[in-house]
């Protein structure tokens, strides 16, 4: 799959560069950057209907560009969703650590929980959750 992704990336870059060149070759109504290539050169290559050919070619290149973008995004998502060795190892470690670190098993059944909810540890969390933010200590104002 990596070879296919690299091949499509090479085509993607080629299409992007071609699209950039073709867009810059087009003559705008104000004769901007298109005049830099010379008016007669593009007419000699593509004929009198230069603008129509370049507009159609730009449309095709843009369609190919978006299709390649969509295809590459699907391939990268598929590549990332596969279970790698590292991911499987992390899942094994997580499943092995869950039964031994259960907060319900460590808490004696006779103890009462605080009424405010402060100090209660939600499942899967390592730090207690406070019910209200602590107020900053009051500082005395200097007398003037």
Chain segment 27-44, per-residue pLDDT in tens: 766 555 555 555 555 556
Average pLDDT on 93-115 reads 62
What distance in Å separates the CA atoms of residue 121 and residue 106, rounded to the nearest whole number?
12
Please classify residue 120 by burial: count the beta carbons closer than 10 Å to its beta carbon, then call 0-12 exposed, 13-18 middle and 19+ buried: middle
Q: Which residues contact 51 (CB under 8 A, 6 or more apart)?
A: 26, 27
Residue 3's nearest CA partner among 55, 79, 65 is: 79
pLDDT band at 1 (very low <50, low <70, confident <90, very high): confident
pLDDT band at 110 (very low <50, low <70, confident <90, very high): low
Higher pLDDT, 10 or 81: 10
Given a cut of 70, is residue 18 above it in pLDDT? yes
Count the neighbouring beta carbons within 10 Å of the beta carbon of residue 61: 19
Higher pLDDT, 74 or 144: 74
pLDDT band at 21 (very low <50, low <70, confident <90, very high): very high
What pLDDT shows up at residue 66? Answer: 97
Phi, psi at residue 114, to the nearest 5°? -60, 145
What is the value of pTM for the model shown?
Answer: 0.47
Residue 25's nearest CA partner among 12, 43, 8 is: 43
pLDDT band at 53 (very low <50, low <70, confident <90, very high): confident
- Residue showing tokens 């080629």: 14
């Amino acid at each position: 799959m990596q070879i296919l992704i690299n091949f499509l990336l090479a085509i993607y870059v080629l299409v992007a560069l071609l699209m950039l060149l073709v867009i810059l070759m087009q003559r705008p109504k104000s004769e901007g950057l298109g005049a830099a290539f010379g008016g007669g050169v593009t007419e000699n290559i593509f004929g009198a209907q230069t603008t129509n050919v370049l507009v159609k070619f730009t449309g095709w290149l843009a369609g190919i560009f978006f299709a390649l973008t969509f295809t590459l995004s699907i391939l990268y998502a598929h590549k990332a969703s596969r279970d790698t060795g590292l991911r499987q190892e992390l899942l094994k470690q997580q499943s092995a650590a869950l039964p031994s670190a259960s907060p319900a098993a460590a808490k004696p059944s006779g103890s009462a929980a605080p009424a405010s909810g402060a100090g209660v540890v939600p499942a899967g969390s390592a730090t207690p959750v406070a019910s209200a933010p602590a107020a900053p200590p009051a500082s005395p104002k200097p007398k003037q």
